Structure 1
Amino acid sequence: MKNPSISKQSGGVDISLKAKRVFYLKLLLAGILVPLVCYALNYFADVFLNGVFVDWFSHQFVYEQTIYNEEGGLAYVEQSIDWKALKAFLGKASLLFAWIFVFSLIGAFHLGGKRRAQKVIKEAGEKLHQYMHSELEAEEIFPPEYAQISTRMVQIKADIEKKEQSLKDEARKKSDLIAYLAHDLKTPLTSVLGYLTLLKEAPDMSAVQREKYVHIACDKAERLDSLIEEFFEITRYNLQEMILEKEELDVSYMMMQMTEEFYPLLSAKNNTVRLELPQELTVYADPQKLARVFNNLLKNAIAYSYPDTEIVVRGEQQENQVVISFEDYGKTIPRQKLDLIFQKFFRMDEARKSNTGGAGLGLAIAKEIAELHGGTITAESQQEKTVFQVILPGKS
């Protein structure tokens, strides 16, 4: 069996020898053709243009003078070459020929280089196409002279495959999540219909029993509404291109309003929110987008904090940036999950285990919005205390 490396090297040597043979053959043909062309031109000028050339040469470079012979009393005409005029003409002709030769040489090199470049580009394109659409290794396709290109293409192909796998994983997670949500929609809907049917068919039901069934039906309807909202959240996240409309914004005032809006959720678990914010904490941001960040973080804190605990929202100005933190007391998030908590659909499994769980998009969206503003979001969790910290550029 042949050694692949030896085979490749042999192929490279054969190509090199073939190129050299072609070059020497072209050189030999040029050595033969150039003298033949020159001889043909000279023959043409001597035979067919001899009279024209002689007349032109005589007119330009030959002058006549009459010489008298005093002894014999004779006079004759003598023709002589005007060497000064001939030298001047030859100098100009040589210069013109030199310029023509130089420009011809440049043109030949240019055309030759252009053809070689086109050939190389075509060959490289074919090899790139072959590499990107086959399972062959780069060394099996690209010869040694393409080493830099092959190295770069290996990196590009690896990046493309990584991104494709990431997109496939994300699509799979999204499909799984939609399937889970669609399945979960059936459960609360069935419960709502069941309890409403009981209330309808038993008009003489006791007040206590009726209140119990109404309460259960209401809880299931709220869960159904939450699941439907998650469907819309997924759709908005994938279809919406976020465009920021920035303005000066008072974070302290926004958080006061938001805390009041979350009163029903807070009272359900007997949680409270304590705001530790200066009277004026201004950022230059998109109000609606930033409200969505704080809404998601506050909702997350309420959902996963222990009942009867306090959620603390702190804010301060640090040089040219504003830092807002959300602190809650609940189950400690493991380190391996804390590193992935901002990924889309990460909390998919937890969403099925808990009535408070979401689609796993809230923190991913919050992170994207913060980064669009030139900021960041981080999370820390230890000893049953979790802190999310948002850092945003301050007032410009």
Structure 2
Amino acid sequence: MKRKKPLTLKYSKLRAKVFIRMLVLIALALVAVDGLYLLVRGRLGEEGVRLLQFFTGYEYEQALSIYNSALREHWEIIMLTVISAFFLLFFYFSLSWFTKYFNEVDTGVDALIQDDAEIKLSPEMSSMEQRLIFVKQTLQNRALEVQVTEQNKRDLVMYLAHDIKTPLTSVLGYLSLLNETPNLPYEQQQHYMKIALDKAYHLERLINDFFEVERYNQQTFQLNQQLVDISYMLVQMPDEFYPILSPAGKKMIVEVEDTITVHGDSDKLARAFNNILKNAIAYSDDNSTIEVSAKTLEGRAIITFMNIGAMIPDDKQDKIFEKFYRLNDARSTKTGGSGLGLAITREIITRHGGEIDLQSGQGTTVFCVRLPLFSQGG
């Protein structure tokens, strides 16, 4: 799965809205203070006396006396009190606005762990809303990946447990038969022993699959890096795979440039190439040729593995590198594996700073590995 580029938070709308609100509050405070000053000390003093006279019913002289003694003589305290009151109101409303946004973010964070909850914030918080939605989608995708991986692993264990019974039963059956009937003809004994041996080898492969699963889960990849001659490694592979190729009339052709050198772990790289070839052999047609080539291009080693046979559908070409993924739903003794070979291969190639991909179509499948060449200056 491709990682999305993280969203950059932008709060221009929020800043503008908060700034306008602050200006409005400050303007209202200035208008109120100025109006009060005019009422107490300025041109509106006469109107203040008349208001006091109107509300109290006093005579003008009496109202003027109260006005002077209560307001004019204490106007500093009154103005300080009013300004303090406006400051407290200003501070209160400012905190209310900010806590409102914090509450929205808190609600959005709660929605992250609720599958059916919608994340919806104020328009000026759209940047944070997009970030929370991005995080939620990422968490959901990772949870789905874990779920699929666990299901594939459970299916694999079930398949392996089922498949182990068959060869084990055959081995026990033929060995019991040989033990109980020692007077069987020699040719028949040899036939039974060969069948038991083949089933034992099959049982060994299945047990190795179990260990492969455990090794992958522990992720114990330690690279012992040194100079590796890719060309020399590849030209030896036809002889190594001859016992697997020969029974089906298959052969391997290797065409490589001389001395392609990379800096890496020779054992791990050999394991990666072996996994690719095992896949190519398993899914290639009988009596076909598997072509392996290697060349250098723009500071990288380009290694390709081409086989003729069953194609990989477009919708499965990315999944084939996922752990525990098997191309065939029905696991067969011929091609069925742990579903880890190509996943481990990609892990090894990636840790060497390389890339791996495939193309499948028109009866051929090509795996392409790109590795950085060894550079004395680097």
Q: TM-score normalised to the size of structure 1?
A: 0.67
1:314 is matched by which residue type in structure 2? S
Q: Distance in 1 between matches of 2:200 and 2:35?
A: 96
Shift of 1:205: 1.0
Q: Distance in 2 between matches of 1:249 and 1:257?
A: 14
Shift of 1:31: 10
Map Cα deviations across residues 161-211 of structure 1 (whole Å, 9 max, x no partner): 122112111111111111111111111111110111111111111222222
Moved more, 360-369 or 130-139: 130-139
Moved more, 365-374 or 264-273: 264-273
Counterpart mapping for 1:338-353 below 5 A: 338-347=317-326, 349=328, 352-353=331-332
Shift of 1:262: 2.8
Which residue among 134, 159, 162 is the counterpart of 1:180?
159
2:117 is matched by which residue type in structure 1? L
Closer, same or farther in 2 for the Cα pair 1:199/1:160, shift >3 Å? Answer: same
| Secondary structure in 1 matching 2:319 | coil
Q: Is the counterpart of residue 231 in structure 1 residue 210 in structure 2?
A: yes
Q: Is the counterpart of residue 266 in structure 1 residue 245 in structure 2?
A: yes
Gapped runs of 5+ residues in structure 1? 1-16, 44-107
Which residue among 115, 118, 136 is the counterpart of 1:137?
118
1:175 is matched by which residue type in structure 2? R
Shift of 1:115: 5.9
Q: Is the counterpart of residue 128 in structure 1 residue 108 in structure 2?
A: yes
Q: Distance in 1 between matches of 2:236 and 2:158?
A: 36
Q: Distance in 2 between matches of 1:217 and 1:375?
A: 43
CA contact (8 A) 1:185 1:227 kept: yes
Closer, same or farther in 2 for the Cα pair 1:143/1:326, shift >3 Å? Answer: closer
Shift of 1:227: 0.7
Which residue among 277, 295, 320 is the counterpart of 2:256?
277
Look up the match of 1:331: 310
Map Cα deviations across residues 129-176 of structure 1 (whole Å, 9 max, x no partner): 33224433223xx34443332232222212211221121111111111
Look up the match of 2:292: 313
Q: Is the counterpart of residue 382 in structure 1 residue 361 in structure 2?
A: yes
Closer, same or farther in 2 for the Cα pair 1:131/1:199, shift >3 Å? Answer: same
Closer, same or farther in 2 for the Cα pair 1:216/1:384, shift >3 Å? Answer: farther
Q: Distance in 1 between matches of 2:302 and 2:228?
A: 14
| Secondary structure in 2 matching 1:273 | strand
| Secondary structure in 2 matching 1:205 | coil
Closer, same or farther in 2 for the Cα pair 1:29/1:214, shift >3 Å? Answer: farther
Q: Distance in 2 between matches of 1:30 and 1:359?
A: 82
CA contact (8 A) 2:109 2:132 kept: no
| Secondary structure in 1 matching 2:221 | coil
Q: Distance in 1 between matches of 2:147 and 2:237?
A: 37
CA contact (8 A) 1:331 1:385 kept: yes
Q: Distance in 1 between matches of 2:258 and 2:123?
A: 68
CA contact (8 A) 2:293 2:303 kept: yes
Gapped runs of 5+ residues in structure 2? 1-20, 41-69, 78-87
Q: Is the counterpart of residue 221 in structure 1 residue 200 in structure 2?
A: yes
Q: Distance in 1 between matches of 2:135 and 2:268?
A: 35
2:210 is matched by which residue type in structure 1? F
Closer, same or farther in 2 for the Cα pair 1:304/1:133, shift >3 Å? Answer: closer
Shift of 1:282: 1.0
Aligned CA-pair RMSD:
3.9
Which residue among 253, 264, 267 is the counterpart of 1:288?
267
Closer, same or farther in 2 for the Cα pair 1:147/1:337, shift >3 Å? Answer: closer
Closer, same or farther in 2 for the Cα pair 1:269/1:158, shift >3 Å? Answer: same
Structure whose CA Rg is larger: 1
Q: Distance in 2 between matches of 1:133 and 1:218?
A: 54
Q: TM-score normalised to the size of structure 2?
A: 0.70
Q: Distance in 1 between matches of 2:339 and 2:366?
A: 18
Q: Distance in 2 between matches of 1:113 and 1:249?
A: 69
Look up the match of 2:45: none
Look up the match of 1:48: none
CA contact (8 A) 2:360 2:366 kept: yes
Moved more, 294-303 or 352-361: 352-361
1:364 is matched by which residue type in structure 2? A
Q: Distance in 1 between matches of 2:362 and 2:29?
A: 83
Look up the match of 2:150: 171
Shift of 1:341: 2.3
CA contact (8 A) 1:278 1:316 kept: yes
Q: Distance in 1 between matches of 2:206 and 2:307?
A: 24
Which residue among 279, 282, 285 is the counterpart of 1:300?
279
| Secondary structure in 2 matching 1:138 | coil
Q: What percent of counterpart residues are identical?
A: 39
Which residue among 172, 183, 186 is the counterpart of 1:193?
172
Look up the match of 2:345: 366
| Number of corresponding residues | 313
